[in-house]
Chain A
Amino acid sequence: MYRYDEFDHRLVQERVAQFRDQVARHLAGSLSEEEFRPLRLMNGLYLQLHAYMLRVAIPYGTLSSRQMHRLAEIAKRFDRGYGHFTTRQNIQYNWPRLKDVPDILAELADVEMHAIQTSGNCIRNITADPFAGVAADEVEDPRITAELLRQWSTLHPEFSFLPRKFKIAVTGSAHDRAAIKVHDIGLRLVRSPAGEIGYEVCVGGGQGRTPMIAQVIREFLSKDALLPYLEAIMRVYNLFGRRDNKYKARIKILVHEIGVAAMRDAVETEFARLDVAAIAADQDEVARIAGYFAPPVYEQLPKDSSTLRTARAQDGAFHRWVETNVGAHKVPGYTIVTVSLKPIGGVPGDATANQMHVLADLADRFSLDELRATIEQNIVLPNVKADDLPALYVELVAAGLSTANVGLITDIISCPGLDYCSLATARSIPIAQALSQRFADAERQRAIGPLAIKISGCINACGHHHVGHIGILGLEKAGEEYYQITLGGDPTETAAVGERLGPGLSAEATIDAIERLVEVYLARRQSGESFIAAYRRLGHDAFKEAFDAAA
């Protein structure tokens, strides 16, 4: 993974000093509240319902053991002993004090971390496939691109006061685990017919109150043109994105209003003006960054691990955990482990400081010192030898991190909702907990198979409910929380926005309704057919009938 050089170190340290000075100047009256607010947002500091919230960047979801240990220490020292992993591969602390934040940022800078641009009307954390570097279906490790873009977007002089936030995601595989189609810019690494690696560039995806799937603006962009081309897109957006209405200020609205052809013309016109060679990162710099993502030294191991086979035969719980949480690695004898942060009845995505320390230790012992945070709010250990899985599992069990539900119905994505967030219209976590408990039975979960439920506590859709196989949106009416269900959402390369099922329901009725929908699926599915495949075959109305009948 990337390691800071002297320039990276200096920049984050200068950033800490800048923020410390900004806090002091605000307290002294030099910066008004209106002036200070965007500055603190650009350091990831929100005001929430009960307290401040600090969103720390985990660039493209990759972190080291040492960094995870530091995140745990920050939770213990400055917060209430836990953190929340988010749907954009960041971590959030819910109880920091403004007076402590400069010190927290200094602790982060010390381990090559920061909270730069995790909020505000600027370019946010560049997210990427959590299986980057270890997935067999990869054209190229997307984190090289993501790190290049992280640096390029950091403290960008021209693009730090955009009409609205800007989110970029990168995938290196045709199978998109980074949800690029619902990002402002989505990049997919592809091979040209001549064999050259470049990018398919999509723009104008997004969720929120007007969900849209991104459209292709450039089928093939050569690598050296990446930074100038993105500069052109950002400039067009910065100049022409709406500033009159906060809810119509994302680039997706611009693309929708002028059409992708006009958008393409504007971008290509601007791009044609640019001196590509003067703007692009030179080949040596790209190679320098790429060097950090060279594969670690793997042992030469047989494809089949007898240790694993034996352990699976002996321990049913371990066997089930391997089935759900362990995936194939491109190197024989190794695996990709997804640690579920969705214990039955727990808060999705939350981890205690102690659990974070355990994960850091396990990464050090079993995963070549690396972890990933996923947009499903889980943690990946990307380099675990199959032989080590039994020993790893024992440690996970001891730390309460062994829930065998990755990708299953209880692997629920949920935003913090009204329990924490001042933007929310309803609570989301209690719905996640109730659903988790309703479907707790392990056999039933496995029978249902892959089913992604995503819950948002308001129309801003931070829970990504629009792209849930089952999406739930929490709203408020006459002082009561009620929930709308959507079906058929998909964040992958077959991206789709879920379709609304009907009017909103109470919390209790929502849980019952979800169960009914699952029963429709189980009754009508063909052999081996996943929920989303059955939904596409049977159609929305098949499920709507059952929903309406019971209402």
Chain B
Amino acid sequence: MVKAPAPRILTANDLLEGDVLFLGHDGWVRDYRAARVATTASEAAEIEVLGLAAKDARLIIDPYLVDVALEADGTPAPVRFRERLRTLGPTVRPDLGKQAERRS
């Protein structure tokens, strides 16, 4: 039996601001928990296309898919350490990045 692909979200950086974004259900969001989750290969292809369109429209840069694990309530959590870091900020500066913004 073919293994189902890991659920994925799409991440990128805001062109003008530079900070990390995720493709949401209605545009781009800064909180990964609100990202649109692609559970099938065709849905992943679909969000990739949306990412490339946003890149061509010069809203974002460097869009790519990120493997996630789903929590009980369906919230996505990036699997790879590097991608988890992108949702947090530098581990050596807990006062900077999204981790700090979420706390404030």
Contact = CB atoms under 8 A, between A and B. Distances in A.
Interface of A: 26-27, 29, 33, 47, 49-52, 80, 94-99, 347, 418-420, 424, 427, 429-430, 433, 476, 479, 481
A420 B20 CA distance: 13
B90 A419 contact: yes
Interface string B62-74: 1000000000000
Interface string B1-39: 000000000000101111110000000000000000000
24 contacts: A29-B58, A33-B56, A33-B61, A47-B18, A47-B61, A49-B85, A50-B89, A50-B90, A51-B13, A94-B90, A96-B18, A97-B17, A98-B15, A98-B16, A98-B17, A347-B92, A419-B91, A420-B90, A427-B92, A429-B90, A429-B92, A430-B92, A479-B81, A481-B81
B96 A95 contact: yes
Contacts of A418: 81-82, 85
Contacts of A97: 16-18
A32 B89 CA distance: 29
Contacts, number: 68
Contacts of A347: 92-93
Given A51-B18, A476-B81, 4 more contacts: A47-B61, A49-B20, A52-B13, A97-B18
Given A33-B58, A419-B90, A420-B90, A50 B80 contact: no
Contacts of B92: 347, 419, 427, 429-430, 433
B80 to A, nearest CB: 7
Contact of A50 (B58, B81, B97): B97
- Top 5 closest pairs, chain A to chain B, by CB: A52-B18, A419-B90, A51-B18, A99-B16, A429-B92
Nearest to A346: B92
B60 to A, nearest CB: 10
A27 B82 CA distance: 29
Nearest to B13: A47
A476 B83 CA distance: 13
A511 to B, nearest CB: 16
B6 to A, nearest CB: 13
A354 to B, nearest CB: 15
Contacts of B80: 479
A479 B86 CA distance: 15
Contacts of A27: 15, 58
B17 to A, nearest CB: 5
B86 A49 contact: yes
Contacts of B61: 33, 47
A424 B80 CA distance: 13
Contacts of A47: 13, 18, 61-62
B86 to A, nearest CB: 6
Contacts of B56: 33
A36 to B, nearest CB: 9
A27 B60 CA distance: 11
A479 B67 CA distance: 13
Nearest to B59: A27
A58 B98 CA distance: 30
Nearest to B81: A479
B90 to A, nearest CB: 4
A430 B85 CA distance: 14
Contacts of B98: 50
B91 A98 contact: no
A348 to B, nearest CB: 10
A435 to B, nearest CB: 14
B13 to A, nearest CB: 6
Contacts of B58: 26-27, 29, 33
A96 B97 CA distance: 13
Contacts of A429: 90, 92
A97 B18 CA distance: 6
Contacts of B91: 419, 427, 430
A98 B82 CA distance: 23
Contacts of B62: 47
A418 B93 CA distance: 13
A27 B91 CA distance: 33
Contacts of B90: 50, 94, 419-420, 429
B19 A50 contact: yes
B57 to A, nearest CB: 9
A98 B19 CA distance: 10
A80 B89 CA distance: 13
Contacts of A49: 20, 82, 85-86
A100 to B, nearest CB: 9
Contacts of A99: 16-17
A183 to B, nearest CB: 29
Contacts of A479: 79-81
A444 to B, nearest CB: 24
Contacts of A94: 90
Nearest to A420: B90
A271 B93 CA distance: 51
A162 B91 CA distance: 36
A246 to B, nearest CB: 17
Nearest to B17: A97
Contacts of B16: 97-99
A424 B91 CA distance: 14
